[in-house]
Structure 1
Amino acid sequence: MTEAATITVDVISDVMCPWCYIGKRRLEAALRQVTDIDVSVRWHPYQLDGTLPKEGKDRQQYLSDKFGGLNNALSFYQQIEAAGAEEGIPFAFDRIRLSPNTLDCHRLILWARADDLQDEVVERLFKAYFIDGKDLTNPETLVDVAQDAGMQSDLVEQLLETDSDLEKTKKSIGQAQEMGVTGVPCFIIDGRFAVAGAEKAETLAAAIRHADETRTAEPKQAMH
């Protein structure tokens, strides 16, 4: 297929967002429904809580503050566990000890684009956090993720010690907010259509097919 025939799906997401993990699974299911269309997926940063300190915050305290008590949080996450189970995600919220600031995670996802490994890195970050209960503020966790995904982990380790692409990442988050994104996941399809939330696979597949059927000869401008 020609480059002009490719439909780009830009996913605005945060790795500490369980609905984004569910949304990834539903997108994958949607792509299996539109195998006749060439689709390219790119991941973009968002922060559910940009006020979290770099070292993160105790998970229990974070949930209590956010939901007005742990019981309220428990009820909320039971719904997410049920939705995750339908998509084959065995959420293990009880293993999570720290709510992370995810800026470094987003830098890692950005770097993974050069090697076309974004999807691998995003998947491993979700698993590390939601299933294994790993600390995403720990550079060692991110280096391990990079290595498992096939990135140059030595380079990643060096870059994490710097502020490389930190401002670029913050700018991208700001761009999403300026576009009107107030929650994630948000799927921007062919730079023209937005699907907000972890919609069902059928909805995402229909949006991709609609984008393919209505596009002009010139490829649309996607996010950068």
Structure 2
Amino acid sequence: MMRLNKFLSRCGVASRRQADEMILAGRVTVNGEKITKLGLIIDEINDVVRVDEETVRLPAEESYVVLNKPKGFISSLADRYNRPTVIDLIKGVKDRVYPVGRLDLDTEGILLLTNDGELAYRLAHPKFDIKKEYVVTIKGLFPEHLTEKLEQGVKLEDGYVARSKAKVLSANESNSVLQMELTEGKKREIKRIFAALGYNVKSLKRIRFADISVEGMRPGSWRYLNRKEVLKLRRKVGLH
């Protein structure tokens, strides 16, 4: 027997807190009955649990996958416009896994996927300060001194002040290439930062998430994280 929110977290659907929100929103049914109160105990083996009308089950084991996402793939399980998703790239993964955060359609690079709901929630939450590194190519010459402006903070159109560490890898009148480090990673944050400074981003690749990289992995390829990598990620967010 198991609490419903713990069951949903174990299935990789969400953290326990997020699962509570889903229950209160009426998105969860047990044996066909909509559940809107917290604290329900279920039979995790025999009860049929659905989220948004889709059945969820406990995985045989927790899986942790790193994908080198190419451009042109949606970072979700499905797309209403039938565009290709990252799930199409990991058909060899036996358990159902969910993206940790997301990368834009035209952004490439490292994406973690897992059915460990609590770890996924913490890795994506800004309070845990998980570092993400990117290589950004922008149009035009980006002077070195502007990296100080990036560290001090750039005010975006919604009033949010975005801060990032950056260094210029190369720069000329046509293009500049920078390496950037962020911990928060709001929606389209890097593109919005450069737009606020008058630059257009030509390409964006995430090369590192926490201590995990896609070095040596071709675009579209994936691998399982090893035990050492998983334990290190869990320690970073206070899970042991």
Query: Which is helix-richer, 1 or 2?
Result: 1
Query: Which is strand-richer, 1 or 2?
Result: 2
Question: Please, what TM-score do these two structures have when normalized by structure 2?
Answer: 0.24
Larger radius of gyration: 2
Q: Looking at both structures, which has the greater relative contact order when contacts are Cα pairs under 8 Å and sequence separation is at least 6?
A: 1
